[in-house]
Amino acid sequence: MDGRPPLCVVITGPSAAGKSTLATAVQEHAREPLLRFGVDEFYRMVPGQWAGGVADARFAERGFTYQDVPSMPGARRIDNGVDAIAMLHAMNAGIVGILGAGVGVIVDGQAFEPVVNADLETRLLDLRARGLARVAVIELSVSDEPLADRQRRHAHPVGLALHQNTLPKQAAEPDLVVETSGMSAAEVAAFVCRWLDQEYPEA
């Protein structure tokens, strides 16, 4: 606000890694409003007939579907159909639109879809290079054992976390990587907020 380029904090990592908890902590810590937009908010906007987990959804194959991972019993992944890809690109445009209005945004997770993630990264780095946004990309990393425990305690355990932990990272060049396996949520939040204060003292 007040003439400064808006701040964009992108938090990446597998399901149950602690992204939403960290997003809330950063929102509360920041001295400027950061609107929250990420995959959880996005999935709530998806029409039921395209949504994963909706029985007999007519357009599931074009939208989002949960699929078993044969090599990992009990694990599932989200498959993104052609309409899903278009909707995910629209989410990226929405993030850029919020920043273009001069308001900061915290991106609470991205889909594991490389072409979509590369699109957002390209858009944000362009805004950063042109001085139109301050961008911080934070990756939460966690090893399998604590991740499995967190998934068991997760509000919506759908079996995604361990498979997502085998996939390529969502950001090609994160600004900060936090290995959270031995840290509490409060410790992660304190560490990230201190880093943000140092990198973006006006935030």
Which pLDDT score, from 0 to 100, does residue 203 have? Answer: 59
Q: Residue 171's domain spans which residues?
A: 7-199
Residue 12 domain flag? yes
Angle 164-44-24 (CA atoms, 0-180°, nearest 5)? 70
- Whether residue 158 lies inside any domain: the answer is yes
pTM (2 d.p.): 0.92
CA dist., res. 112 & res. 94, Å (int)? 18
CB 109 within 8 A of CB 195: no
Please state the domain count of the chain: 1
Residue 2 domain flag: no
Which pLDDT tens digits describe the chain residue by residue (203 residues)? 567 899 999 999 999 899 999 999 999 999 999 999 999 899 999 999 999 888 889 999 999 999 999 988 888 899 999 999 999 999 999 999 999 999 999 999 999 999 999 999 999 999 999 999 999 999 999 998 888 888 888 766 578 888 899 999 999 999 999 999 999 999 999 999 999 999 988 65
Q: Which helix (H) or strand (E) holds 7?
A: strand 7-12
Residue 1 maps to a domain: no
Residue 49 placed within a domain: yes
Question: What pLDDT score does 177 carry?
Answer: 97
Is residue 66 in some structural domain?
yes
156 is a domain residue: yes
Q: Are 6 and 134 in contact (CB under 8 A)?
A: yes
Determine the pLDDT at residue 45: 94
The DSSP bridge pattern shows strands 176-179 and 7-12 to be unpaired
The C-alpha atoms of residue 202 and residue 19 are separated, in whole angstroms, by 23
Give the CATH number of the domain where residue 185 resides.
3.40.50.300
Query: What confidence score (pLDDT) does residue 146 get?
Result: 86
Q: What is the pLDDT of residue 155?
A: 65
Instruction: Flag whether 145 is in a domain.
Output: yes
Cα–Cα distance measured from residue 172 to residue 176, given in angstroms and rounded to the nearest whole number: 12
